[in-house]
Amino acid sequence: MVLSNANPKDLSYAQAAALAVQREMEADPRVVVLGEDVGRGGIFGQYQGLQQRFGADRVIDTPISEAAIMGAGVGMALAGLRPVIEMRVVDFALCGMDELVNQAAKNRFMFGGQGRVPLVARMPGGIWDASAAQHSQSLEAWFTHLPGVVVVSPSTPQDNYSLLRAALACGDPVVYIEHKTLWGQRGPVDEGIAVPLGQAATLRRGDALTLVSWGRQLQACAAACDVLADEGITVELIDLRTLWPWDRETVLAACARTQRLLVVHEAVQASGFGAEIAATAAEASGCRIARLGAPRIPVGYAPVLEAQSRVGAEAIAAAARRLAG
């Protein structure tokens, strides 16, 4: 991480992302954006002002076809461009999976490194308030299972700025999962802070147990840590930030010290990425482990049903108490 002397800006999660893309487009004429509604700034404002600044030939509005958008982006990347591919929400990206899974992810391997696919596929994920089952999925585990891609999930405006720039410099396909309800979250953004892919952030120090999460779920985890601290239970809270490659060194070092690990995610618990972290920690350290995720149900539209899919601070604190006891 590199620190600058510049005064940080107060930006929203969406503004931080737009600034990151702007800086990369200024620095590299090969960076282009394509997707639905990107010309008007995107549905969350994450491209605000970019078409006016760089023109419609670099910020490209597309037809409503995720397969066409992803396929065009893969072709652009193979031809030497560095495209930012906007899928609007991760749920819609399912219509472009063949181009990502069978083309982008495998090209470098199948052609002996002669081809590279340096694209960033932005797929906002997670529960979108009152948007029901087809717009509220957390599918990060699908992509971590896919050899050939990097998977990123920023939780703060600063990380959304720094990690998006790192993703655009990566040289390989990156699945970039921003949470659908974080766009308005504000915070300081220092353009001089570089965050490398694959490096977790330790947000709190503690000895009772290690708590690992990512994305919006960090907010509930932090609230649970506050409750636990009042009870004398100190928690080591780790924001994974990059899901693949994930920071084993930081997580396993914390597990070795606390001898307890709780992995929490918004995604359905069954076959979630938390299972990979838990299994790795069990093999490496033998520490006590628990997982906490959503039940295996579609996200309901009605608030009372949607709440059943949320993993809140109270449930996290209860799981931590059981593990620490």
46-57, pLDDT tens digit by residue? 999 999 999 999
* Runs of H (alpha helix) within 28-120: 50-54, 66-78, 97-98, 107-110
- Write down the pLDDT at residue 1: 44
| CA dist., res. 99 & res. 69, Å (int) | 9
Phi, psi of 307 (to 5 degrees): -60, -25
pLDDT digits (tens, 9 = 90+) for 55-89: 999 999 999 999 999 999 999 999 999 999 999 99
pLDDT digits (tens, 9 = 90+) for 157-174: 999 999 999 999 999 999
Is the preceding peptide bond at 245 cis, omega within 30 degrees of 0?
A: yes
Domains of the chain: 9-189 (3.40.50.970), 201-320 (3.40.50.920)
Report the predicted TM-score, pTM, of the whole model to 2 decimal places: 0.95
Task: Report strand pairing: 201-204 vs 235-239.
Answer: antiparallel
Structure tokens at 324: 């620490």
CB 242, CB 198: distance < 8 Å = yes
Active site amino acids: 135
Burial of 282: CB neighbours in 10 Å, binned 0-12, 13-18, 19+: middle
In the structure, what pLDDT confidence band is assigned to residue 325 with cuts at 50, 70 and 90?
confident
Determine the 3-state secondary structure of 36 from DSSP.
Answer: coil
Percent share of the chain, pLDDT over 90: 96
**Closest by alpha carbon to 34, among 9, 22, 51, 49?**
51
